[in-house]
Amino acid sequence: MIITRTPFRISFAGGGSDIPSFYQRHGGCVLSSTINKYMYISVHPSFGNEEIVLKYSKTEIVRGADEIEHKYFQDIMRRLRLSGVEIVSTADVPSGTGLGSSSSFTVGVLHALYSYKGKFVSKEKLAREACEIEIQDLGNLIGKQDQYAAAYGGLNFYEFKPDGTVLVEPVIMKTEAYLQLERNLILFYTGKLHSANEILGKQSQNISGGEKEKNQIKMCDLARELREELHSNNIDAMGEILNENWMLKKTLADGISDPVIDEYYERGLKYGALGGKLLGAGGGGFLLFYVPEKRRTELKIAMNLPELPLSFDRQGSAVIYVGLKPDIF
């Protein structure tokens, strides 16, 4: 048996610039961090040597990849030409909450199956192939940041070049500033799910010119500014830049926010947060706030929403268990 653990991510600034329609013209950049919430994928020989058994929110037992209903599993099994396996996925957080779960799933399954075949695969290859599967093969109207974050892990600045290459640069900070940044971030669950593909599809169309494209360029500039501020250990700049980024992001497409989310956001600012944003494409999921530690309790009481405790993940996708291959008759 092989088990992989692949982190989810929280994005701070620049989101949307990783969409091809934007970075192919301007280049893009995102600053984000993975967190200690994970997708777990286990791979084991199936009892029937020719069967593929898949267990996620439902169970599939098929004889070949063409029979698989789950489109991600189907594409990956075709790509790697595997059969006779049982694959189980388990997640700390459900999909549709803005933490990049679909990309964590794709990276985690790829990592687990390559390892099962006895092949080492680099983080770059995991991220690149996950992008190919989600964006090219499946036609999802999403960007590249989630796949690279899931594979690499850590607090990083990602640069998306017009030719499609991606540069990954760790954000270097003093240990005490890094730990305080963790403590000053808080996640609240709004209770609403969203469709990233739908919202990002609208956003991709909208940023082909005019004011919305200018705002997306400003969001890239904010990601670069945040990188420099964190390199200088000025963690309170996170609050102001999160707020500026969120105000710009809301202009990019309908459905990114709504009156309920806006009310929660204004309440967060009223009770101590210096800034925040809705994670992912928008429309629901988790609200992230940056709040000085001394006002954290006040904010939690005022928000009256479920909190998801977090710390940063530094490892990225990893094989966490390798068992002996059992004899199957």
Gap between the Cα atoms of 61 and 202, Å rounded: 36
pLDDT digits (tens, 9 = 90+) for 167-215: 999 999 999 999 999 999 999 999 876 455 554 555 455 555 678 899 9
DSSP letter at 285? S
Which segments of the chain are extended strands (E)?
A: 2-13, 28-45, 52-55, 59-62, 85-91, 155-160, 166-170, 185-189, 275-278, 286-290, 318-322
Strand 52-55 relative to strand 85-91: parallel, antiparallel, unpaired?
parallel
Which amino acid is it at 137?
A: D
pLDDT at residue number 281: 58
| pLDDT of 329 over the 50 cut | no
The residue ranking higher by pLDDT, 97 or 106, is 106
**Partners of 295 in beta bridges:** none
Question: pTM of the full predicted structure?
Answer: 0.92
Helices (H), the chain: 20-26, 71-80, 101-116, 123-131, 145-152, 175-183, 196-206, 210-231, 237-249, 259-270, 296-303
pLDDT digits (tens, 9 = 90+) for 286-300: 999 999 999 999 999
pLDDT digits (tens, 9 = 90+) for 8-62: 999 999 999 999 989 999 999 999 999 999 999 999 999 877 899 999 999 999 9
pLDDT at residue number 50: 82
